[in-house]
Structure 1
């Protein structure tokens, strides 16, 4: 134990975290500090802007010891604002705007935050006593300030931030971290795993996840570059893998969940990448896969209360997977229940001391007394150590093995979760008598939260448990982050208990992961292809004994799983099938039969039958920027039984057909496919995002042909990027006016909302930057492998079609389904630009969610109800 904790290193304990960044700015003024989409900021720009915003905070009476909240979407200004808060002497409170409003408001109240830095996008959204400072205003007001750091004497003992973690009492608890704790960690990590000014670090962690501190401050402490990734891309394994390859990322910190997600996307080659893996246990199978695909693999361990990471280990192919040894100025003890040291090799609680130990929990004296206890081993009066609640032991080689939890705290996708907080929230529901939540990993690499519910007895009527679970999920999403909402619910008559009366969590049954009315009779695979399909479904969906007649969507299949399945089928058979194949071939039997067809005979028609049967007027929905139509299935599943639904997917996604670049031609192709199916009509059309303009042109063409268009619906689609016939003077004036508004929207439009424009509106900006980059560096087309890899070319041609298309008014009404949560700037927030063109008027329907989540549960059900009502009234 003595040699294990021989970690003392002299470092400047008296300095602040931002002193490290200022030193980088002084040494490497012209180095790129932050890259985000098409923006790059140098160290000088970051430092000067942070100084100016810090001056605004000081001018508004922010003092040392104050707390300033920050709720911004991921963008360079988010990082700059964090640094500015530190330079003002305050501690920052990181808030992810995507978290539930009630949870954020609790954090603001509990922390006593005096100010809240946010954007125009979230102006007035959060109710608190904190005075709002809009980042757009701060940037404009401070533009002419001298770029000097405020004269505030911040020391290593001052608070740097307060970060809230899940709490067992039903409310999150705030962990207080001092500057010197972060300085110590950054200087230690500079040596191991090691980082240099030439490194490029990809940053994906939400600012509310403590590991975001490494993503941000480690590269900034040495003059390296941060490649900041938006929240949507951070959840996309394919996009992350492409970014690592294209941007030549050298260091990336992520949880095992993220690494598995990237591996599913066909990652095979070795990359010059230093991997930092933490947040959950690193398994043998994941280690084996990563070691052959990276330059170095480091296993990281540490709770939020001891400043991000407390131990680390470089993993080799012949080494045991442990959490290694402590970072600098950190001590790790394995203690008994009475806090006495246990002999090496014996199991005890991992307790951590040293300079990384937090100041404590904010406003939680009883919990502080329980978790932050006196350290009798350091010999320093008043020194504290933190009881992690993790079990561990010291191995013969002096390294530490972590062996799980003592209590009911778990990790899901790297997020630390107190199960009692979820149980507390469920217990508030009127139909719940008792709730127990556990984390299960019945499928390796796919941990899931399962809730076991004893219903409250109310009369003789038996409630519909499925309807109740949907209601509970909606209620929980209003108060808890998405990752804390249980995936599975199990109805119980009683909760099993141990002989001493405690809940027997090990006796809780495995949930039925199918979520369906599966076929009554199980039918095993009969052919090689049926076995291939069934085996893949069982592996990737975590199910057992799938019948060849079971339905993919009823089994809970979604887009991400579909992509993985089709990619694996292509690897196994050499045949590339459209994702839309699953609509018509949704059983293992039918999909296997589809594989029997010669590859050349596989069709990629634009018209896709999502729900083809029914007596009502069919609805034809045009794809958005995703190019395919799989996401419309959830919406269709909630429509009337007799309501047919068809999708229109982009021409060219098979990589063979030539994509179209004229809007009229794109629409004509879709109209022809519709008329080939139904030459009489009447017709109901809808378009999502980019598809809205296409659907509009389709309606125009159908009306010109004398066809009856009963309904035209826009699913959060706008006219912003279509051609406007203006004089040169008017164009210049309009451009200037738009620039002025963009300046007022600086942080939102150029950092927050453009990312939404990129993600939600055909990837316009990102594709343009990539196109220019390829032209500048004369990069040829990439080798085309895998599934959904032809989107770039179609996006570029769709962009051309969109910008060259002139809208003209037509005699039609528009049903506008508008996302309640605004995610990007547009000229007309009320009608999204459609009012001048729909001569019969625009009828607005606000639907829950934001642009990319209106089709996701539980939003899809409410969306479907309103849409079905519109369809019925149209007829």
Structure 2
């Protein structure tokens, strides 16, 4: 019998308290009972309830006296106590020999003892003595033990959620957000490691055990690793649930012991730990070998090993030796994100994954661009050759390689080659301002520049001249030449830089964000997009200079998929990209919402459409989401959010309801919190600033320690020393459903005449007009220094743009007056900037284009036409009629002052500014001026800027 009790089951009436709840005379819990509850809880003994009565009153009495949280399971009813105790043991996954029962009634104790002889029974009058008994006093109390109650209660919430979940078990597991952290055991972990070997049913284990002294010796030995695995999900921590002991024997990494706690067997995490151990060995150039010791109950572990690709090498009655085949990946592990800061290469490592897939599928298509196709073998060979040249040119681990290339196959090769050389890549399009390139090279301590000397404007001489003023001249590595090659480095730590991407700051000065290999690996391993092996084909409409382009590509290369890269000539042409998507049978597409607006109608006409579309980089409007559902109802639409400083995206929402599209919830390995002043957590529905944390938070800004310290702040919620979170500067709120709503920038809200306007809501309304294909809005500061909303309209195919009056009326019927755009400008297409986002600068440059024309004035009187000229100057458009109200066609309190100044030039003193709030139409104002016979008319002064000198 187990000498240590893991669960104490309590009767309530006349045991935990004096009296009976249903008779109304139950008192507060007895002091000695409270003491026993607290002391045993601190030792890791969990409490449960098996009591006769009605559940609701009993639970209410527990809550009133503040002890409800002490119990991990309750069975309250009228059945036999032994049945209740058995159910509790099963629900908590605790053996009956580790369960105790306390009750005031000797008959109840006898019934339990007879039906369940393994369960120890105690009388209620002995409750004060329980903490002094040996079976309630473990020799060592680990942190996991102290937190056992919280973890069991979290498990109860998981089970409740699982029971109400409508999907499959696999879908439920995917939604748990399971994160396993694997690391070398420290001295403080060894007690828990030993506890795992003795306090488990030993079902999910390779069979060997080690006592605490042996574990301590092995953890200090350089040829052994003692690894501990902890687990958490969106409900909370599971604690330490796994243990592995490995030994280096020549070229083999021998798994002496691997076990998983029985309480997580239903979570399918054993395969994930096993896959990590195989990758850990592979990163060191070793084969993973497992020693399996058969017992009466651990056959499940042998099955797990065989499904994970372990084949029998030797077999005997007392030991089976198995070796991994080097190809097979443990199945059903995509729902678990594995973290390991001390692994030779981080889980999800791009280069490690690429090399494994190349060994597994050497002739499978890996990369397509510009009509050229590379298999996995060819891609690995090209990257190795270029990486060797980089090493030969002086590139060392931790350096940066500047890739001065236009987007094509060689761009991807150069990026991967930099990684294989131990460096980070920084991709820059040729033609960027020379001063910016030189500043970047100086900031990054760049040691080599890769360029294509046959592609203008990057000839050898021009690149030399470009970099001549740089303080430390980098080596020049032209793609089309040969040069001495050096040996490729071994595995690099997760902290080594992987890539650098420039991003414009709020001041417009570019900043270089440095992401580590661990950041990139965490982003890759945290992806769980639906896909079929052999049918995964990805394409990004974002250029490779933007981090959104990394959303699918690296992940696909570690999964054996194909990456389609539009060339720099194809990328700006939505029709060309649409043809590429259809022709390559792209399954996973990445785009910004602005670009996707142009691409969606093209995709809808294609014979083959993507399985998944992920939109990122801008706010996804409900109108675009609804349009997607209408045209591509079978394609999964994902709204992804994440600043460059958090490695591409870290929050995601699968769009099902298009009424409002949140950015969703943090991806595995990430956190996202809406915080108020002093980093206080906001209540649901309250607006705060969004902070993101976790494994994807990048290293910071190159050569900008001050800005790095300002934006990357300590994470007080992580519970890990050195953890940081990034202050996004974005406003957000948490919905009652647990999703995050993005509400715009905290440092630049759109204000229209003192009121906040949601631009995308206006665009959505405009796009419901049958004559409008696309609409975008920008805020423009007019000559009078007042911000106005300008709408740019792409008319529906084959139609003329609707008139301004029609569009304004359409908006006025659906929006508040302040939300109606003051100006409508027709355009042929929505301009897209180099990064694939909306080109706001191009739109602002066209804000003064001729607006939509107004009605004819042929039958107006000369006086009415003169007043109309003044209205046109004040409103900055001509679309109004004689009886239109000034305040319903773009006028406001400021513009009425401008109109008054213009009228003063025409008829000084004729009307007061206050009268114009009543004289709202041209007809009214003309009649009022005509009635003012005492003031002689003067010739109309040409409208000029002096009228606006207020």
Q: Which protein is bigger by CA-based radius of gyration?
A: 2
TM-score after normalising by structure 2: 0.44
